[in-house]
Amino acid sequence: MAELHDKPWTLETQDTLESLDVQTDEGLSESEVESRREQYGANRLKETTSRSTWQIFIEQFKSLIIGILAVAAILSFVFSQWIEGIAVLIAIVVNTAIGFFTELRAVRSMEALQELSSTTSKVRRAGKVQEVPSEELVPGDIVVLESGDVVPADLRLVEGSNVQINESSLTGESVPVSKTLEPLAEDIPLAERQNMLYKGTALTRGAGEGVVVATGMKTELGHISELAEQAGNEEKTPLEKRLDQLGRRLVWLTIAVAAVVAIAGIIVGKDLFLMVEIAIALAVAAVPEGLPIVATVALARGMWRMAKRNAIINELSAVETLGATSVICTDKTGTLTENRMTLSKMFLDAGEIAISGEALETEGKFTQDEQTLKPLEDQVLRAALEVGVLCNNAALQPEGSNESRVVGDPTEVALLIAGVKADLQREELLEQMPEVREEAFDSDRKMMATFHEVNNQYRVAVKGAPEAVLQASSSILTSSGEEQQISEQDKEDWRERGNQLAAKGLRILALAQKTVSSEDADPYQDLTFLGVVGLLDPPREDVRPAIKECQEAGIRVIMVTGDQPVTARNIGIAVGLTDDQQVDVVQGKEFKNPDQLSQQERDRIVQTPILARVSPEQKLTLITLHQDTNAVVAMTGDGVNDAPALRKADIGVAMGQRGTQVAKEAADMVLQDDAFSSIVAAVEQGRAIFNNIRKFTIYLLSGNAGEIIAVAATSLGNFPLALLPLQILYINVVNDAFPALALGLSEGNSSLMQHPPRGAKEAILTRRHWLAILGYGIVIAGALLGAFALAFQWLGMEQNQAVTVSFMTLGFTRLWHVFNMRDNSSGFLRNEVTTNPYVWGALVLCTGLLLIAVYVPFLSTALQTVDPGVNGWLLIIGMSLVPLVVGQMFKLIRHAKKGRKPSQRGKSDHSKN
């Protein structure tokens, strides 16, 4: 029976395991896991209470718009205008209902999105290492950790090699802490518990195994979480802040306009109550109260589209930044390439050996000069394969032959597969040569080593970068099976052989070994060099067209890799980054502090499309150099050391499959499929979202501007009012929301990625857009007033019937006006608006809402509408089409003029209305 100890750091390793009733080599059984999960619950912190349905409903009444409507209702009742008062209350209910249901759906969608990025942990259960959701861990689970992993629960370390932990999230100490296995004093402070790994901290170096001693709220992080005051509201994104600011400015501006109109109307002798009510209606009409709602829905919808394309957004602000991305710095392995490593070539002392079979195929032949080799009979070949299998943290499950049987780094998996082809199984080798120590891969040394006990001595297996392994080698195993001293010239020859493999687009790795008498010996001295292996990682099929799409969109793609320059150049040419066979490849060693670089050096680094041998630290310099040119930079990363670069970049992109938890938490976006094309799809979606928000903002404001101009014109002149207050409210609150929502849900114009990116600080509405809003407003007002005047003068209608004509003209004008929101470069009949099914649904719904405003008795009485008759409907249809015709003619003229001008690179010309 498991017993949790409240101070596990005081126990010996074995005592800790016994208290939890578990063995490291077996782990817990599935039945025991279920039992403990029922006892201890899920391994998750108490989540901040999500916004309830009731809270979302109440928040709809907190806006300035609702306050204005409430004042209108109160004034109506004060002046005994009961129908108007009730109608305004109905408008309040309708407005809040639209806001409530759309925001409720958006909030719940955002909460569901968070579940897509849940973390996983490697755990040993029933003797097998498997990946499980971190929240399913229970006390007693044996967790396997590697450099870059985030600790998923509180663990007592039971095995470890050079384990260092970043505990800054708990202790504030930024320097990584080295860990040991020895028990500690009972009263030792948390920061000095060197045998404990705490939830939320990160493994920055080494590898190890720990047994779970606390989960969920019982962890140290859980205790802190209980003490921390939970934030009441989430921080708004820059886009939301800009929309709020725009809304507030419009409110005060239109209140001022409404006051002027009301005072002027009273001066010319119009009814006091009528002018006050008109002033309030004008203020409401001028403010696009649906703007925040539609923006929220548009963002949420866009994030779902990105999620479907395997891009999970961690930061909502990243959605708008994506649309302005101008530089994408991407790594090679797994992003531009398949990350399905195959060991295809080996260079040993006897020469080059080819290995057949791709990816996870376990059948293959070893050939040299067209002669088939028996790898177990060739002493050097066997030694090299054994080192690749022993110096390895990957695992192959025995059953099946698909990817699910693989756990670990693709490079290490390829080494295991090569061993299987030679009938060398890792489990059998470990039985013969048990592993007693591991020297984890170090990004500075660029090597990894394991120690294996053999006949009271220790065989050291080493793999790593060729230059590092050659530097640590003093001898070489020759084809005759003898060790021979290796000279500097020999090392240079081996470097050249490695370059030959790299020139073929292969990733190269060197292997070495030695025998020592102590397991405490330095693994990286006096090694016996065995040879170099070449691993094939073919480019992804979708990368070349994706890069071409970026280039057409004015986005520069830069490959940043740790591989050799010749390998990087080969892959860069293969994926279409460049056609220049002699393209300049800048190496990381050429980077300096940005302040120490000359302008010529800066230009060379910024202009090159391929950078090789770049360390995570040097990525910071690269980002700085590009940002100094006002570029918006997206940077990919997967390792612990990539976290600073991911944070510094405008868009940090972490790899979902091979990325460390540290990288994922530092990033703005996580790619579930590690594919470059997913980045491009996310950028396109970011452009579409910003474009949609701009379009429905123009749509709402231009329609409202038309109302203001029309009502102000009739109010200031000695004319009957062309629109009544409730009619304005009806159009604005009921009829406009659905077309605006439809625009916000658009998938975007197919030409979005054929234009340069917009500026990062470009406003939602530029001077040109404000002029367009004013222009559209004048045309809409002209159509409304024209219909009103013709109904009076030409058709001789009574005032109520003429007002109904102008009311219906405005309603249908604003419906057809949605088609003016297409991009200038899109087609007249087939474009992002006409192909949007939500637009057509909104038009059908809003047409019905307009018709019932005339023909449903109670509503027609409240709105003071009457049947306009056949001639009235012909006039309504004709005049309501005028703004559409004028808008389309303007777009055709503008597009024709633009076609005659040379394109200006660097200026965004998409999303222009």
Q: Which amino acid is at 796?
A: G
Among candidate residues 723, 726, 718, 722, the one with its CA nearest the CA of residue 789: 722
- DSSP letter string over 300-322? HHHHHHHHHTTEEES-THHHHHH
Residue 391 tokens read as: 């110096």
Give the separation between CA 413 and CA 418, rounded to whole angstroms: 9
For the chain, how many residues are written?
913
Give the pairing type, strands 327-330 and 457-464: unpaired
| Cα gap 386→430, rounded to integer Å | 10
Q: Which residues pair with 155 in a beta bridge?
A: 197, 212
Q: Are strands 506-516 and 527-536 parallel, antiparallel or unpaired?
A: antiparallel
Take residue 219 and report the two structure tokens written for it.
Answer: 């962890």
Among 141, 149, 154, 331, which one carries the catalytic annotation? Answer: 331
Residue 824 · residue 772 · CB < 8 Å = no
> Which run of H or E residues covers position 842?
helix 837-855
Q: Burial-class residue 366 by CB neighbours within 10 Å (0-12, 13-18, 19+).
A: buried
Is residue 730 within 8 A of residue 801, CB to CB? The reply is no
Q: Supply 908's token pair.
A: 């965004």
Map tokens 């390793």 to a residue.
13
Could you tell me the CA-to-CA distances from 251 to 70, 480, 598 in Å, in that order?
Answer: 15, 88, 51
The answer to whether 520 and 473 have CB atoms below 8 angstroms apart is: no
Helix, coil or strand: residue 393 = coil
According to DSSP, the residues that pair with 459 across neighbouring strands are 452, 515
Burial per residue of 33-62, b for 16 or more beta-carbon CB atoms within 10 angstroms, e otherwise: beebbeebeebbbeeeeebeeeebbeebee
Q: Strands, DSSP E only, in 644-723?
A: 651-655, 669-671
Report how far Cα 283 is from the mean position of its chain's Cα atoms: 39
**Rounded to an integer, what distance in angstroms lies between the CA atom of residue 587 and that of residue 610?**
9
CB atoms within 10 A of CB 718: 9
Give me the residues paired with residue 655 across strands: 671
Cα–Cα distance, 674 to 663 (Å, whole number) = 13
Going from the C-alpha of 651 to that of each of 324, 521, 611, 677, the distances in angstroms are 10, 44, 19, 16
Q: What do you get for the CA distance between the two ends of the chain, in Å? A: 70
Label the pairing between strands 527-536 and 483-485: unpaired
Torsion sign over Cα 466, 469, 472, 478? negative
- CA distances from residue 912 to 78, 308, 705, 769 in whole angstroms, order as listed: 47, 28, 19, 8
- Say whether 331 is catalytic: yes
- The residue written with tokens 């009528």 in the block is 274
Residue with tokens 């126990």: 11
Q: Give the bridge partners for 178, in sequence order.
A: 164
Are the C-beta atoms of residues 901 and 686 closer than 8 Å to each other?
A: no
- Euclidean distance between CA atoms 177 and 199, whole angstroms: 15
- Which H or E run includes 738? helix 737-744
> Angle between the 676-716 and 737-744 helix axes, to the nearest 10 degrees?
160
Look at the block and give the residue holding tokens 């479907």: 308
**Catalytic site positions:** 331
